[in-house]
Amino acid sequence: MAKKPGKSSGERASARKRIFDTAADLFYRKGIRAVGVETIAAGADSTKMGLYRSFPSKDELVAEWLRDHDIRFWQQWDQMASRYPEDPRRQLNAAFRLLAKHVADPQARGCAMANAAVEITEKDHPARKVIETHKAKLRARLAELCVGSGARQPQLLADHLFLLMEGAQVAAITLGVRGPARNVAPAAESLIEAHLSRRRD
Amino acid sequence: MAKKPGKSSGERASARKRIFDTAADLFYRKGIRAVGVETIAAGADSTKMGLYRSFPSKDELVAEWLRDHDIRFWQQWDQMASRYPEDPRRQLNAAFRLLAKHVADPQARGCAMANAAVEITEKDHPARKVIETHKAKLRARLAELCVGSGARQPQLLADHLFLLMEGAQVAAITLGVRGPARNVAPAAESLIEAHLSRRRD
DNA sequence: CCGGTATGATACCGATCGGTATCATAGCAC
DNA sequence: GTGCTATGATACCGATCGGTATCATACCGG
């Protein structure tokens, strides 16, 4: 059996959890390659040896981080979707409101997955398939909602919306919260409407 | 006086140029932090010392690379624009065709500026203002064209198109040429049309 | 009390990082 | 020729990289 906190508040989390959380924070804020394992360990009040007792390598820690990000992402997504059951059009809308909220946070620095894809160029890095799977799933889920919304060309609309999502995240990095990123929701709305209205007649 | 090649073909370029070109290639393909100065020098058939005779630091070399990228980018842009004088609508169209061609190249790995923005998190890095200036200018030029095209809300349309551009570049990295990136041109067309047509009546 | 499990501390490994100092040489202008 | 400029070669610097080995200790369930 693992740890049962016993008393609730003052309990110190496991070294593994502290290291993982610190790594997640530093990787996202400073970048993967910019953060060394020693820095992570120190930030977690542990040591490099402590890190390597819980994770086989830095590369695997990175992959672990992104797997966790993927899980949390879809938890949020499903929770959002469950608020508008049987209404894919509203789910689409809610997804973009969620995204808009995220890119409006001055702390935010884009999408962890996409940023990792930029930094990691080795094709055999364990994080690469995590990233690709995540983004492929996002594309597919968008397509589902576009089908459900009755779009004329649902896969095409899904791709358009996908581009907006990715663009908003990177635009938040380069031009900040006052930049184009803050207009991502109305952009999605335009695109959706254009794809729902009959073409001309 | 500087180098006059004299005979045309077999001439070896200056060490500075070889180093610069090699750095540009490696930074783009492998990432900035993933490439050391020694690797650059070796790839240019020079030495680390040769690199530091032409560039004050790696950070400055990076900034120099992005400045050069900025210049070439706007040269291409202006050349494209000059093919449709007095027709901003067609210029917009041409810009997205140019982008579509770029993201269709399997060699491409997104936007050098945006990728650099992801990798460089130090706020005082000399490359950061290059990136920000470049992207702000892109946003402004798009807005000009949207005004000229008679959009109802030109700045808003410009931001929407900006998001598509950034999104296509990053989507090309994560999901490749067969991913959503290849549909960026029709996405732009939808957005433009939606902003040009009267709202409903 | 005993024995595992988790953890910290420290020292170490070879490799690479960005950056510099020094010496030699090749070409070109005068 | 004499210089000056550009370049290569090599050795070095302290710092950090990812990763490991070893020792000690603290806790916790039997």
pLDDT score of A198: 59
Angle between helices B126-148 and B112-119 (to 10 degrees): 140
Kindly report the nearest CA distance between residue B88 and chain A, in angstroms.
20
Could you list the pLDDT tens digit for every one of the 201 residues in chain A?
A: 333 333 344 678 999 999 999 999 999 999 999 999 999 999 999 999 999 999 999 999 999 999 999 999 999 999 999 999 999 999 999 999 999 999 999 999 999 999 999 999 999 999 999 999 999 999 999 999 999 999 999 999 999 999 999 999 999 999 999 999 999 999 999 999 999 975 544
CB A103 within 8 A of CB A169: yes
Tell the CATH topology of A57-196: Tetracycline Repressor; domain 2 (1.10.357)
Residues of B in contact with A139 (CB under 8 A): 175, 179-180
Identify the CA nearest to B14 among candidates B46, B57, B39: B46
Q: Which residue in B has a C-alpha nearest to residue A172's C-alpha?
A: B163
pTM: 0.94
**Per-residue pLDDT tens for B113-160?**
999 999 999 999 999 999 999 999 999 999 999 999 999 999 999 999
Q: Is B60 helix (H, G, I), strand (E, B) or coil?
A: helix
pLDDT score of A156: 98
Are the Cβ atoms of A163 and B180 closer than 8 angstroms?
A: yes
What percent of chain B is predicted at pLDDT more than 90?
Answer: 92
Q: Which of A166, A191, A197, A199 to mutate: most B Cβ within 10 Å?
A: A166
The pair of structure tokens assigned to B176 is 């490749």
Nucleotide nearest to A47 (CA to C1'): C8
pLDDT score of A10: 62
pLDDT score of B199: 53
Nucleotide nearest to B12 (CA to C1'): D7
Domain boundaries, chain B: 13-55, 58-196
Q: Residue A37 to residues A7, A40, A44, A122, B161: CA-CA distances in angstroms?
A: 31, 5, 11, 19, 40
pLDDT score of B11: 76
How far apart, in whole angstroms, are the C-alpha atoms of residue B102 and residue A165?
A: 20
How far apart, in whole angstroms, are the C-alpha atoms of residue A95 and residue A66?
A: 20
Could you list the pLDDT tens digit for every one of the 201 residues in chain B?
A: 333 333 344 678 999 999 999 999 999 999 999 999 999 999 999 999 999 999 999 999 999 999 999 999 999 999 999 999 999 999 999 999 999 999 999 999 999 999 999 999 999 999 999 999 999 999 999 999 999 999 999 999 999 999 999 999 999 999 999 999 999 999 999 999 999 975 544
Identify the CA nearest to A184 among candidates B15, B32, B77, B163: B163
Q: What is the CATH number of domain B13-55?
A: 1.10.10.60
What percent of chain B is predicted at pLDDT more than 70?
Answer: 93
Residues of B in contact with A193 (CB under 8 A): 194
Residue type, A159: D
Angle between helices B154-175 and B88-103 (to 10 degrees): 10
Dihedral pair phi/psi, residue B13, rounded to 5°: -70, 165
Average pLDDT of chain A?
94
| CA angle centred on A183, ends A182 and A184, rounded to 5° | 95
pLDDT score of A7: 36
Please check whether strand D approaches the CB of B49 to within 7 Å: yes
CB A177 within 8 A of CB A101: no
pLDDT score of A11: 76
Are the Cβ atoms of B30 and A121 closer than 8 angstroms?
A: yes
CATH architecture of B58-196: Orthogonal Bundle (1.10)
Identify the CA nearest to B146 among candidates B96, B83, B79: B96
The pair of structure tokens assigned to B151 is 């959009």
Identify the CA nearest to B175 among candidates A166, A112, A151, A173: A166
Q: Is B55 helix (H, G, I), strand (E, B) or coil?
A: coil
Nucleotide nearest to B18 (CA to C1'): D7
Are the Cβ atoms of B117 and A184 closer than 8 angstroms?
A: no
